[in-house]
Amino acid sequence: MPHYNTMGLAKAALEASVRYLANDLGPRGIRVNGISAGPIKTLAASGIKGFSRMLAFNEANAPLRRNVTIEEVGNVAAFLLSDLASGMTGEIVHVDCGFRSVAFGLAAVGVEPGSAG
């Protein structure tokens, strides 16, 4: 993704940290999981160049044909903190209306990032 190099590195490091911390802290009964949210329309995100195009692209191509909300991401966080997720650790949960499940296939058929599909 253009202009995403530093953020991509940071996110990859965070995902690796989740796995390492889960391994190190698991014997003490401490669970470590992460959430990878899709693009969310926020005031901070409005400062990202081309963000409105990213939102439109995600909405047009995600299986649920919409963007995820802050509340939906919060609900997943509440689940991960609850006893309902007591058997989960070292996982990255993607909350993106299914976009991750199709993203790589879009490039294979020539859909350009930043287009609406």
CATH of the domain at 71: 3.40.50.720
pLDDT at 6 over 90: no
Least confident of 18-22, 78-82, 112-116: 112-116
Annotation marks residue 20 as catalytic: no
Domain count, the chain: 1
**Torsion angle in degrees (nearest 10) through CA of 46, 48, 51, 54:** -140
Q: Which of 89, 102, 111, 117 is CA-nearest to residue 19?
A: 89
Annotated active-site residue in 11, 20, 41, 49: 11
72 inside domain: yes
113 inside domain: no
**Domain limits at 37?**
5-108
115 inside domain: no
17 inside domain: yes
62 inside domain: yes
Annotated active-site residue in 4, 20, 41, 49: 4
pLDDT tens digits, one per residue of 57-108: 999 999 999 999 999 999 999 999 999 999 999 999 999 999 988 887 776 6
* Tokens coding 43: 């005031």
116 inside domain: no
